[in-house]
Amino acid sequence: MPDDTKLLSVKDLKIGATIYPPGEDPQDIGIVHGVSFDLEKGKVLGLIGESGAGKSTIGLASMAYGRGGIRITGGEVLLNGEDILKLSKSGVRKLRGAKVCYVAQSAAAAFNPAHKLGDQVIEASLKHGLMTKEEARKRALYLFQVLGLPNPETFGDRFPHQVSGGQLQRAMTAMALCPNPELIVFDEPTTALDVTTQIDVLAAIKHAIEETDTAALYITHDLAVVAQISDDIMVLRNGHMVEYGTAQQIIEAPKEEYTRALVNVREMKKAEAQDQSDVILSVDHVSASYGGHFKVLHDVSLTLARGQTLAIVGESGSGKSTLARVITGLLPLTEGTVSFNGEVLPPALKQRSRDHLRRIQLIYQMADTAMNPRQTVGEIIGRPLTFYEGLRGKAKRARINELLEAIEMGDGFYDRYPAELSGGQKQRVAIARALAARPDLILCDEPTSALDPLVAEGILKLLMKLQKETQVSYVFITHDIAIVRAIADSIAVMLQGKVQRFGPKSKVLAPPFDDYTDLLLKSVPEMEIGWLERVLETRKMESAGN
Amino acid sequence: MTDSDTDKLPALLGFPKRYPFLTLILQRLGLSVILLFAVSVLIFAGVEALPGDFASTYLGQSATPQAVANIRQDLGLDRPVTTRYFEWLGGALHGDFGTSWASKQSVTEQIGRRLGNSLFLAFFAAIISVPLAVGLGMLAVFYRNRFPDRLINVISLAAISLPEFFIGYLLILFFSVNLGIATFPATVYDTMSFGERLSAIALPTATLVLVVLAHMMRMTRAAILSVMSSAYMETAELKGLSAFNAIVKHAAPNAIAPIVNVVALNLAYLVVGVVVVEVVFVYPGMGQYMVDAVTVRDMPVVQACGLIFAAFYILLNMLADIIAIAANPRLRHPR
Amino acid sequence: MRMKDIPLSAWIGIIGILLAFFLAIFAPLIAPYGEREVVGEIWEQMSSQYLLGTDNLGRDLLSRMIYGARTTLFVALAASVLSFSIGIFLSFTAAVTRGIVDQVLSRFNDLMMSVPTLIFALVVLAVLPQNIWILITVMAVLDSTRVFRLGRAVALDVAVMEFVEAARLRGEGSMWIIFREILPNTLSPLLAEFGLRFAFSILFLSTLSFLGLGIQPPAADWGGMVKDNKDGIIFGIPAALIPGGAIAALAICVNLVVDWLLRRTSSLKGGRGDA
- In SS3 terms, B232-293 reads as HHHHHHHCCCCHHHHHHHHHHHHHHHHHHHHHHHHHHHHHHHHHHHHHHHCCCCHHHHHHHH
Same domain, A114 and A165: yes
State whether A308 and A259 are in the same domain: no
Residues 6+ apart with CB under 8 A from C43: C53, C54, C55, C56, C229, C232, C235, C237, C239
Mean pLDDT of chain B: 81
Are residues A248 and A305 located together in one domain of the fold? no
Same domain as B265, residue B176: yes
pLDDT tens figures, A500-527: 999 999 899 888 888 888 888 888 888 8
- Give the pLDDT band (50/70/90) at residue B49: low
pLDDT (0 to 100) of residue B113: 83
A24 inside domain: yes
What CATH number is attached to the domain comprising B121? 1.10.3720.10
Query: Looking at the predicted structure, is the pLDDT value of residue B6 above 50?
Result: no
Determine the distance in angstroms separating the CA of C272 from the nearest CA of chain A, rounded to an integer.
8
Residue A285: left if φ>0, alpha if ψ -120 to 50, beta else—which one?
left
Domain count, chain B: 2
Chain C nearest-CA distance from A469, in A, is 23
Q: State which residues form the domain around A106.
A: 3-263
pLDDT band at A2 (very low <50, low <70, confident <90, very high): very low
Q: Which CATH architecture has domain C7-274?
A: Orthogonal Bundle (1.10)
Size of interface A-C (CB pairs under 8 A): 64
Give SS3 for A213. Answer: coil
Nearest to A117 by CA among A63, A187, A164: A164
User: Are B166 and B264 in the same domain?
Assistant: yes
Q: Are residues B69 and B134 in the same domain?
A: no
By the 10 Å C-beta count (0-12 exposed, 13-18 middle, 19+ buried), A245 is classed as middle
**What is the structure's pLDDT at A437?**
93
pLDDT at A355: 92
pLDDT at B9 over 50: no
Of C5, C181, C275, Cβ closest to residue A54: C275
Q: Answer yes or no: is A392 within a domain.
A: no
Question: Is A215 found in the same domain as A67?
Answer: yes
Is the domain of A309 the same as that of A228? Answer: no
> What is the least distance, in Å, from the CA of A178 to any CA of chain C?
28
CB C95 within 8 A of CB C241: no
Last residue of a domain, one of A230, A263, A296: A263
A189 in reach of chain C (CB within 8 A): no
Q: Enumerate the β-bridge partners of residue A475.
A: A310, A443
**Cβ C244–B165 below 8 Å, yes or no?**
yes
Which pLDDT value is given to residue B58? Answer: 60
Per-residue pLDDT averaged across A465-471, rounded? 93
pLDDT-wise least confident of A124-128, C99-103, C163-167? C99-103
User: If you compute the radius of gyration of chain B from its CA atoms, what whole number of angstroms results?
Assistant: 25
Q: What's the confidence (pLDDT) of residue C202? A: 92
Q: Does A234 lie in the same domain as A297?
A: no
The least confident of A309-323, B135-149, C142-156 is B135-149
Residue B47 lies in a domain: yes
In this predicted structure, what is the pLDDT of residue B335?
Answer: 61
Query: What local confidence, expressed as pLDDT, does residue A1 receive?
Result: 43
pLDDT of residue A381: 94
Find the helix packing angle between A133-146 and A117-127, rounded to 10°: 130
d(CA A269, CA A487): 7
What is residue A451's predicted lDDT score, i.e. its pLDDT? 86
**A184 shares a domain with A89:** yes
Preferred mutation among C6, C162, C260 to probe A, highest tally of A CBs within 10 A: C162
Residue C4's pLDDT is 66
Boundary (domain end) residue, out of B62, B93, B124: B93
Residue B128 covered by a domain: yes
State the nearest Cα–Cα gap between A235 and chain B, in angstroms. 25
pLDDT in tens, A251-278: 999 999 999 988 887 777 778 888 888 8
B245 in a domain, yes or no? yes
d(CA C254, CA C202): 10
Q: Is residue A304 part of a domain?
A: yes
For chain A, what is the mean pLDDT? 89
Whether the predicted pLDDT of C267 surpasses 50: no
Residue of B154, B169, B279 to mutate, interface with C, max C Cβ within 10 Å: B169
Short-list B145, B139, B120, CA closest to B277 = B120
Task: Give the distance between the most distant pair of CA atoms in chain B.
Answer: 86
The pLDDT confidence band at residue B2, using thresholds 50, 70 and 90, is very low
| Domain match, B79 and B196 both | no
Domain that holds residue B57: 3-93
Taking the Cβ of residue A129 and every Cβ of chain C, the question of whether any pair is shorter than 8 Å is answered with no
For residue A128, give how far its alpha carbon lies from the nearest alpha carbon of chain B (Å): 8
Closest B-chain CA to A160: B330
> Distance between CA atoms of A375 and A380, rounded to whole angstroms?
6
Which residues on adjacent β-strands are paired with residue A216?
A44, A184
Element (H, E) at C149: helix C132-159
Select the residue of A357, A374, A384 nearest C184 (Cβ to Cβ).
A374
pLDDT at C8 over 90: no
In chain C, the residue whose alpha carbon lies closest to the alpha carbon of A18 is C273
- The residue that leads in pLDDT, A433 or C28, is A433
- Asked if the peptide bond before residue B131 counts as cis, ω within 30 degrees of 0, the response is no
Each residue's pLDDT tens digit, A340-395: 998 999 998 889 999 999 999 999 998 888 999 889 999 999 999 999 999 888 99
What Rg, from alpha-carbon coordinates, does chain A have?
26
Q: How does DSSP assign B160-218, residue by residue?
A: HTS-HHHHHHHHIIIIIIIS--S-SS----TT--HHHHHHHTHHHHHHHHHHHHHHHHH
Q: What is the structure's pLDDT at A13? A: 93
A368: left (phi over 0), alpha (psi -120 to 50) or beta: alpha
A94 and B234 within 8 Å at the Cβ level: the answer is: no
Q: How far apart are CA C184 and CA A523, in angstroms?
A: 45
Nearest chain A alpha carbon to C184: A374
Is B103 an 8 Å CB contact of chain A? no
Query: Are B168 and B297 in a shared domain?
Result: yes
Gap from B78 CA to chain A (nearest CA, Å): 50
CB contact under 8 A, B163 and C117: no
Pair (A161, A219) in one structural domain: yes
The answer to which of A304-308, B199-203, C234-238 has the lowest mean pLDDT is: C234-238
Say yes or no: A154 and A283 in one domain.
no
Task: Please report whether residue A382 resides in a domain.
Answer: no
Is B100's pLDDT higher than 90? no
B177–C234: do the CB atoms touch at under 8 Å? Answer: yes
Check if the beta carbon of residue A68 is closer than 8 Å to that of residue A238.
no
Cis peptide before B185 (omega within 30 of 0): yes
Q: Find chain A residues with C-beta within 8 A of B245's C-beta.
A: 127
pTM over the 0.95 mark: no
CA distance A425 to A421: 6
List all chains that touch chain A, counting a touch as 3 or more CB pairs closer than 8 Å. Answer: B, C
Domain count, chain A: 2
Mean pLDDT of B260-272: 80
Q: So what's the pLDDT on residue B57?
A: 60
Kindly report the average pLDDT of chain C as a whole number: 84
Q: Is B3's pLDDT higher than 60?
A: no
Give the pLDDT of residue B54.
59
Say if B28 falls within a structural domain. yes
Gap from A337 CA to chain C (nearest CA, Å): 19
**Do A245 and A233 meet the contact criterion of CB atoms below 8 Å apart?**
yes
SS3 A12: strand
d(CA B195, CA B203): 14
Nearest chain A residue to C186, by CA: A374
Q: What is the CATH number of the domain that holds A504?
A: 3.40.50.300
Q: Do residue C162 and residue A357 have CB atoms under 8 angstroms apart?
A: no
pLDDT surpasses 90 at A430: yes
What are the pLDDT digits (tens) for C214-264?
A: 888 888 889 888 888 888 887 878 888 888 899 999 999 998 888 888 777
Q: Based on the domain organization, do A256 and A343 belong to the same domain? A: no
Q: Does the distance separating the beta carbons of C203 and B161 come in below 8 Å? A: yes
Q: Are residues A300 and A236 in the same domain?
A: no
Residue of B261 and A131 predicted with greater confidence: A131
Chain C CB contacts of A19 below 8 Å: 272-273
Task: Give the total residue count for chain A.
Answer: 546
Q: Do B157 and C129 touch (CB under 8 A)?
A: no
CA dist C221 → B168, C203, C227 (Å): 19, 12, 10
Q: Is pLDDT above 50 for C274?
A: no
